Amino acid sequence: MADEWKASAAADGEGKSWKLLEKTLLAGVQEQRRARRWGIFFKSLTFVYLFVALALFVPMLDLKKSAGSSAGHTAVIEVRGMIADQESASADNIVSSLRAAFEDANTRGVILRINSPGGSPVQSGYIYDEIRRLRAEYPAIKLYAVITDLGASGAYYIASAADAIYADKASLVGSIGVTAATFGFVGVMEKLGVDRRVYTSGEHKAFLDPFQPQKAEETKFWQGVLETTHRQFIASVKQGRGDRLKDAKHPELFSGLIWSGEQALQLGLIDALGNTSYVAREVVGEKEIVDFTLQESPFDRFAKTMGASMAERVALLMGFRGPALR
C-alpha cells in the first residue's frame, strides 16, 4: 500500500512538473509574440515617419527648376495623361507650372510638351484661358506646344492657344469633338425581376440614371448640352489657330476625327514638324531646358491612390462619365 501511494505521489509530481513546464513555454511563446507585434508596430511607425518626412522635404529639394541661375533657358511643362481634376494634368497643376515658367527672369521661351488623349472641357478651358492671359502679359516670351504621341481633343484645345504647334510626322492630332458615355441596364433589370425605385423632386432629376429607360426629350436635351460644348470647343480652336486652320475646305476637322502629324500639317492643325529639343534649339534659341512641371510629392501620390472619393466610386459603378473632350 505504501508503495502504491509513493508511486501515485511521484506521478502527481511529475504531472505538475510537466504542467509547470508547459505554462512556462506558453508564456515564453506569448511574450515572443507580443515582442514581435510591438516590433512590427514600431517599424511601421518609423516607415510612416520617414514617408511623411520625404513627402514634406523632397519637393523642397527639387533641383530641376534652376530659377536662380544666370543663364537663359527654355522652360518645359509636361501635359501627360488625362486632363482632369486631381490628375497630374489638372488645370491647377498646369496653370501653376505656367505661371512659374513665365515669371522666371531667365525663361526665353516656354514649351508645353503634350501627350494626352484629352479630358474635362472645364479643365482644358481653364488652361487655354491662362495661356492666352500669360501670352498677353509677357509678349516677349513665346509659348509653343509640342505634341509627342498624342494631342487629341482637350489636349489639342490647350495646344491651340499656343503661338505655334509642333508634332512628329506620326503623332496623332485632332479629335475636335465631345463625348459622354454611360450604360443601360434596363433589360438586365427586367430579366432579373428587379424594380428600380427613384424618388426625386424634379421631373428630369434622374434623367442620366442608367437603370431607367431613356426618354426622347431627355436624350435630345443631353445632345444639346454636348453640341453647345462642341461649339465652344470649335470657337476656341478657331480663335487660337486663326487663318492657319484649313476648315473652310475641310469641315471634317470638327467631326471628331484624328490625323497623323503629317496630315495635320496639311490641314493647318499644326505649324511644323519637330520635337522639344528642336524647338528649344532652333526656334527659342536656348538649348538649355529646365523642367517647370509641378511635381507631386510621394504623399500626394499615396493619398491619390488610396483616397478615391465616394462620388467617383459611384460614378464608376454606374458606368457614367460626364462630358469629355476626347
CATH number of the domain enclosing 140? 3.90.226.10
Q: Return the number of other C-beta atoms located less than 10 Å from residue 59's C-beta.
A: 15
Reply yes or no on whether the pLDDT at 225 is more than 80.
yes
In a shared domain, residues 34 and 131: no
In a shared domain, residues 51 and 114: no
In a shared domain, residues 252 and 279: yes
Grid cell listed for 125: 478651358
Distance of alpha carbon 290 from its chain centroid, rounded?
Answer: 22
| 0.85 exceeded by pTM | no
In a shared domain, residues 124 and 45: no
Q: Is residue 325 part of a domain?
A: no
The CA-CA-CA angle for residues 292, 296, 58, to 5°, reads 90
Distance CA 32, CA 25 (A): 11
Q: How far is CA 307 from CA 103, 302, 303, 317, in A?
A: 33, 8, 5, 16
Q: Is residue 5 part of a domain?
A: no
In a shared domain, residues 127 and 205: yes
Distance CA 158, CA 128 (A): 5
Domains of the chain: total: 2
Residue pLDDT, tens place only, 145-185: 999 999 999 999 999 999 999 999 999 999 998 888 878 88
Q: What is the DSSP letter of 89?
A: T
In a shared domain, residues 140 and 46: no
> 73 with 106: CB under 8 angstroms?
yes
In a shared domain, residues 38 and 117: no
Q: Among the three residues 34, 57, 80, which one is the final residue of a domain in this structure? A: 57
Q: Is residue 6 part of a domain?
A: no
In a shared domain, residues 201 and 261: yes
The CA-CA-CA angle for residues 182, 123, 261, to 5°, reads 85
Q: Is residue 15 part of a domain?
A: no
Per-state percent for the chain, helix, strand, coil, to nearest 5? 50, 15, 35
Helix or strand holding residue 16 (H, E): helix 2-57
Provide the pLDDT for residue 230.
93
Distance CA 272, CA 50 (A): 48
Q: Among the three residues 57, 77, 105, which one is the final residue of a domain in this structure? A: 57
Domain that holds residue 161: 64-318
Q: Which residues contact 89 (CB under 8 A, 6 or more apart)?
A: 78, 79, 80, 81, 82, 83, 116, 119, 123
Distance CA 41, CA 20 (A): 31
Distance of alpha carbon 110 from its chain centroid, rounded?
Answer: 22
Grid cell listed for 232: 465652344
User: Residue 158 burial (CB < 10 Å; 0-12/13-18/19+)?
Assistant: buried
In a shared domain, residues 203 and 303: yes
In a shared domain, residues 27 and 154: no
Distance CA 16, CA 222 (A): 83
Task: Report the DSSP pairing between strands 142-152 and 172-174.
Answer: parallel
Chain mean pLDDT for the chain: 81
Could you give the percent of the chain with pLDDT greater than 70? 71
Distance CA 93, CA 154 (A): 16
Q: Is residue 14 part of a domain?
A: no
In this structure, of 54-58, 69-73, 244-248, 279-283, the range with the lowest mean pLDDT score is 54-58
Q: Is residue 12 part of a domain?
A: no
> Which residue is it, cell 516677349?
140
Q: pLDDT confidence of 193, banded at 50, 70, 90?
A: confident
In a shared domain, residues 217 and 198: yes
Reply yes or no on whether the pLDDT at 304 is more than 70.
no
